[in-house]
Amino acid sequence: MKEETMTFKVINDEGKEIDCEVLFTFESDETNKNYIVYTDNTVDEDGNTKVYASIYNPDQDETKLLPIETDKEWKIIETILDELQKEAAKKGEE
């Protein structure tokens, strides 16, 4: 079964269009906000894929990505990313 990849385009600070791939979306019961976690598939100097997260409203026709501004929100996202990495590592060992 092939998973469908969701992609979207963003305009960076220099006005350049960048293709991004959605890794996952979720709604937090703690904050009552929806989050999107995505990548532009670039890597940092350590060889890690760069991952970004934003707040979004899934009910809007034109999605606007809003910045995450609190440490609490970042902690929620980091916890989910850590869990996904652990699951992926387990699957890789099987």
Q: How far is Cα 33 from Cα 3, in angstroms, rounded to an integer?
A: 26
Each residue of 38-94: pLDDT tens digit?
999 999 999 989 999 999 998 988 888 999 999 999 999 999 989 988 888 887 777
> Number of C-alpha atoms within 13 angstroms, CB side, residue 82?
6
Can you give the residue range of the structural domain that contains 69? Answer: 7-93
Query: 3-state DSSP call for residue 6?
Result: coil
2 part of a folded domain: no
1 part of a folded domain: no
Strands (E) in the chain, as ranges, are 7-11, 17-28, 33-43, 49-56
Written as six digits, the tokens of 36 are: 């999107």
67 part of a folded domain: yes
pLDDT band, residue 3 (cuts 50/70/90): low
Count of structural domains, the chain? 1
